[in-house]
Amino acid sequence: QVQLQQSGPGLVQPSQTLSLTCAISGDSVSSNSASWNWIRQSPSRGLEWLGRTYYRSKWHNDFAVSLKGRITINPDTSKNQFSLHLNSVTPEDTAVYYCTRSRDGYIDYWGQGTLVTVSS
Amino acid sequence: QSVLTQPPSASGTPGQRVTISCSGITSNIRSNFVYWYQQLPGTAPKLLIYKNNQRPSGVPDRFSGSKSGASASLAISGLRSEDEADYYCAAWDDSLSVWVFGGGTTLTVL
């Protein structure tokens, strides 16, 4: 059974960087058949896919065009986890953030979610 | 504004059958599989239907999915009070190169 455990601050100041980590159990971040995604959910934007990292002989990243330049997703093989960093945040980035796994082409497992509020 | 279109609400009485629609376009639903997620209050979405009409183990056969062209539907038969939740459809979009979601349908069991 795959489990994704999220951690990170629930409050970020405007213009700062939002950072969250997702610890994986029951699978490997280096798996050749899985992808590791970040998705957020807010009343105004609904569910929004942010990006993913995955390993296929080498590491790959894909990001939503709307966030390119502000987002990085990094795997950490030593801790079997991956992280999200979103810089220059504004109140519009306030949302519940989820880490998820994709396998066989679809999102099957979700983390518990982290409410991140951008406010001073 | 979500890329996939769902009705904001649906309702039914216990035992009834309800359907929830999801409308997209060629680059997403017509070209790719559709997935459905159930989100209970205060929890993360849970995979309900994958690849248009497949149920993960543990999902009751009261839940079924279908797809035709650029639209898809989720049907719930034998409605139960514990089915009260938000339901979301999702698909990969080939033009945007992102996962896209519906705006969600809140199901009320009367």
Out of B33, B43, B100, name the one closest to residue A106 (CB): B33
Q: Contact, A101 vs A35, CB < 8 A?
A: yes
- In chain B, the residue whose alpha carbon lies closest to the alpha carbon of A42 is B103
Task: State the Cα–Cα distance between residues A99 and A73, nearest whole angstrom.
Answer: 11
| pLDDT recorded at residue A19 | 98
DSSP one-letter code for B79? -
Percent of chain A whose pLDDT exceeds 90: 91
Across A63-71, average pLDDT: 91
Predicted confidence band at A68 (pLDDT cuts at 50, 70, 90)? Answer: confident
Which DSSP helix (H) or strand (E) runs through A82? strand A81-86
8 Å CB contact between A22 and A99: yes
- A101 CB-contact burial (10 Å; exposed 0-12 / middle 13-18 / buried 19+): buried
Which positions in chain A touch B45 (Cβ < 8 Å)? 47, 98, 110
B5/B21 Cα distance (integer angstroms):
8
List average pLDDT for each run of 10 residues in chain B, which is 110 residues long: 92 97 96 96 95 96 97 98 97 93 96
DSSP label at residue B14: T
Residue A105: the pLDDT is 85
- Element holding B20 (H helix, E strand): strand B18-23
CA dist A34 and A55 (Å) reads 8
Cβ pair B90:A47 closer than 8 A: yes
Residues of chain B with a CB closer than 8 angstroms to some CB in chain A = 2, 33, 35, 43-47, 50-51, 56, 88, 90, 92, 96-104
Mean pLDDT in chain A? 96
pLDDT, tens digit (0-9, with 9 covering 90-100), for A21-66:
999 999 999 999 999 999 999 998 999 999 999 999 999 999 999 8
Do the chains contact at A106 and B50, CB–CB below 8 Å? yes
Of chain A, the percentage scoring pLDDT greater than 70 comes to 100
Taking alpha carbons only, the member of A33, A42, A44, A40 closest to residue A63 is A40
A98 contacts on B by Cβ (under 8 Å): 44-45
pLDDT value, residue A104: 86
- Going by C-alpha positions, the residue among A117, A118, A114 that lies closest to residue A22 is A114
CA pair distance A84, A95, nearest whole angstrom: 14
pLDDT (0 to 100) of residue A91: 96
